Every structure is written in structure tokens, then in C-alpha cells.
Amino acid sequence: MKSDRNESKLAPAVWERLADLRPNRRTVLAAAAAALATPYISRLAWAQDSVNVGVVVPLSGANAQFGVNSRNGIEMVAEQINTNGGIKALDGAKINLIVADSTSTPTTAATVGQRMITQHNVVAILGAYASSLTLALSEVTERRRIPLMTMSFSDQITGRGFRYVFQAINKASTLGAAQLEGTAQIAGGAGQELQSIAIMYEDTAYGTSQAAGLRDTAAKLGIEVVMDEAYPLGITDVTPLINQLRATDAQAVFPCSYLNDGLQIIRSMRQQNITLPVIGGAGGYVIPDFKEALGEFADGVMSIAPGNYDQAPELTDVFRERYGYFMVHEALEHAVCLDVLAKALEIAGEADPEAVREALSNTRFEGGWCAAMPNDAVDFDETGLNTLARPLMVQWRGEDLVTVWPEDLARGEAVWTGA
């Protein structure tokens, strides 16, 4: 009781005195005050010579690698737009990226989004790679009426009737469905009828929704799912999964996971001489590290992907030259998002979120980076889903990922082979 009395009486006085004592503390406090007060100051001035675009991606935590890839793609396109004269409809205004770390916590993603909207007057936000982060962020952007452009997979993103969210790629359930349809066709082309499959997936939003797509499609195509196992994220030992797989008569295995589990799964399969075709669910199966880690064992591994760099080498080679690795799909799709946003700004003619939203939802975008998308165009429906997106299947060939399905997009022949 005594201590409480002291604390509450003293606390305010202390801060004043401390601030008087040490000039550097005062500067810190002033900086803090300024940071909190900025909303009103910056609200007065819409920047004329530049357009602020928010980028919210995980730069630390478990998904950092994908966040960094995404940022790389976005930064490259921003530079291209700016060197080509910026947004012409806005007197050559430059794209000014405001990048922030969403970490791996949905709360942080939402808070960061709020900050971009109030402090930086962003006209739109790109992000946030992981579905849970995007969902949390979209709750903020929807209420503040700021367009959010994303390449996250989750069905929920455009399934809630939101008006300000734009999903540039297929939903997880569509990807899961295509993962099986494509495989069935490729197997059929090799003279094998696909009758039984094994699904294993990490128990995250990504893994579960994609597995649901696989499961539903299997039922529709009359393919038996002989193994259907979720496993905890960050599993330290995949042997139980492979032991189960060995006991089945699956003709192909569909793992939906990131890199660590993916490598463990394939290596453990090799140890037990299981040579089934492996069809990954994007994630860790379509990044250069996969090949680097597995070497020759990567050859022939297939994966579903929402996009691939070989669809527009003339655009994506610039990325490879600049960063030293091929343009991974999250970088590619984020690049498309920014390019589409720039086109929408041209149409809107003003850096106003509402006008940009109108342009985004009422336009069919073509040219530029849209050429990297499967239909060379982007068109959002009323839910914000890009109706022209199409999943494709890729296969590892040496150092490269080659699109092998569907036929009209294929850059190489699919090889039906075990891992």
C-alpha cells in the first residue's frame, strides 16, 4: 500500500525531471511524441511529387525469406516505373515504397497497416505474403477503405465480401484442385491411370486449405486418397509420415509444406527407396534452395505454382541478373501487383484510394508485368479475385523450374518420374 502511494505520486514528476536532466532523453521523448502526432501533420499535405505505396511483408521470423523475396520483386518494379517517368497521369509522380515488417504476428501486421494509412497516407498496400497476416491486415484496410493487393492463397481472403481486397492469384482450393487435375493428366499422358494418392500437409492455413482442394478433387475424379495426414508445423522428424506412406499403395505423393519439411520428406523417401512421383504444393518446392539442397534428387520433382518465371523470361531475367537467383513466384506476383496498381493510378488520375479501388475493380489490365501471368492479363471480379489467374505445374529440370502444364502454357514436356 505504501509503495503504491509513492509510485503514483512520483511517476509524472520523474519524467519531467529526467527530461530536464538529460537532453538526449528529451529528444527521444520528442521523437516519440512526433511519431504519434504525425497523423495530423501529414494529413494536411498530400504528397504531390510521389505516391506512397505500403509494403507489409514478414522480414523477420519464420517466413522472412519469402517476405524478402516479395520485397525484392516490388522494389525492382518500383524502380522500373520510376525510371520510366513515374505515374504519367500524376505529372510523373514517383512511386514511394513504405516498407514495414509484419513479423509473423497478425496483430503486428494490422498495426503496421494502420500506421501506413495514417502516417504515410498510402494509396494502397501490398502484402502480406502469409494468409493469416493478410487476413488480419485486410480487416484494417477494409475499414479504412484502402485497397490491399495480395498474393496470399487463402480462400477466406476474397470469401468475406470485402470490397477493398484484391487477390492476384488463385485461391488455395483452386490450386489444390489443379495440383491433382494436372497430375492426373500428366500421369495419363505417360500411360498411367492415377487411382490412389497420398496427401501430407503442414497444419497451417496454407496446408489445410490446399489439402482440402486436393481431397475434394480426388472425390470428384474418383481417385482414392490412401493417406491423408496433417502434421504439426515445425515437425522435427518426418519418419512417421514416410513409414505410413510406405505401407500404402499410393501412385503419387502430394506434400504441401515449406522447405525444411519438404527436404526431410524427400530425403526420407530416398532412404526407404520410395520412388513415387512427388508433386509439391508450391511453398518450399519452387525456390532455388530446394534444388541446392537436394541436388540431383530435385530433378523431376513437380509442383503446382500460381506463376512461374519462364512465362515471361524477358521480364524476369532482369530479376535474376539483379539478385542472383531466378524470380521466385512470390516476387513475380508481387511485381505484378505493383505494376497493376501503377496502371490503376494512371486510370484513376489521382492518388486517391477510392478512385484506385474503382479502377482496380473495373479494368482488365494488360501489358507490362501482366504478361508474366498465365493469361497475360489481370481482371478482378466483384469479390476482388483475379478471374484470369490460372495455376500451372512446374517441374525441376537442372537448375530451372520449367512449366509443364497446362499444355498451352507449357515450356517443356512433363516427365512422369519418381523423386
Site for another protein, residues 199 to 228, rule: CB under 8 A? 203-205, 207-209
* 267 counts as binding another protein under rule CB under 8 A: yes
Residue of the chain from 284, 300, 306, 384 that contacts another protein (CB under 8 A): 284
Task: Retrieve residue 156's grid coordinates.
Answer: 477466406
79 near another protein, rule: CB under 8 A: no
User: What is the smallest separation between the CB atom of 257 and another protein, expressed in angstroms?
Assistant: 12
CA distances from 101 to 59, 127, 128 (A): 5, 10, 9
Q: Tell me the window of 36-44, 79-87, 312-320, 351-359 that interacts with another protein (CB under 8 A).
A: 36-44
Q: How far is it, in rounded angstroms, from Cα 168 to Cα 355?
A: 19
Among 19, 47, 226, 259, contact with another protein (rule: CB under 8 A): 259
Q: Please, which residues have CB within 8 angstroms of residue 69's CB and are 6 or more apart in sequence? A: 287, 328, 330, 331
Among 9, 45, 83, 222, binds another protein (CB under 8 A): 9
Cβ 91 to another protein shortest distance, Å: 26
Q: Which of 27, 48, 84, 272 binds another protein (CB under 8 A)?
A: 272
Say if residues 149 and 168 touch (Cβ distance below 8 Å). yes
Coil, helix or strand for 411? coil
Distance CA 400, CA 7 (A): 65
Report the SS3 class of residue 364.
strand
Helix, coil or strand: residue 346: helix
The distance of closest approach from Cβ of residue 12 to another protein in the complex, given in angstroms and rounded to an integer, is: 9
User: Rounded distance, CA 106 to CA 244, Å?
Assistant: 34
Per CB under 8 A, 250 contacts another protein: no
x/- map, 131-160, another protein, by CB under 8 A: xx--xx-xx--xxx---------x-x---x
In the complex with another protein, the residue whose CB is nearer, 274 or 347, is: 274
Nearer to another protein, 161 or 349 (CB): 161
Which grid cell is 408?
Answer: 498451352
**Residue 327 interacting with another protein (CB under 8 A):** no
Residue 231 or 416: the one with the smaller Cβ distance to another protein is 231
Q: In what order do the strands lie in the sheet with 94-101?
A: 94-101, 50-57, 124-127, 148-150, 165-167
Examine residue 98 and tell whether it contacts another protein (CB under 8 A).
yes
